[in-house]
Amino acid sequence: MCRSTIVRDAWDRGQPLSVHAWIYALFDGRIRRLGLGTGEPSSLAANYARAVESVRSGRRVPGSEKLEA
């Protein structure tokens, strides 16, 4: 999503835009935050790497608690 031209163009124009990553767990039907949230391209790489590592390791990152429906 953050690599799309729509998001990149908005950031290039200085338009405020935040992107948040959630995942739907098939095993329990719950939505979880991945701990990736960014409002600017400069923080994207570090936030993405942290979120991917948390998924691979099974660790929770701050902000990754379950969202109640």
Please give the pLDDT value at position 62.
55
Residues 50-61: tens digit of each pLDDT? 878 877 887 665
Q: Whole-prediction pTM value?
A: 0.55
What 8-state DSSP symbol labels residue 6? H
Rounded Cα distance, 58 and 17, in Å: 29
The stretches in the chain having pLDDT less than 50 are 64, 66, 68-69
Boundaries of every domain in the chain? 5-67
What 8-state DSSP symbol labels residue 9? H
Please give the pLDDT value at position 58.
72
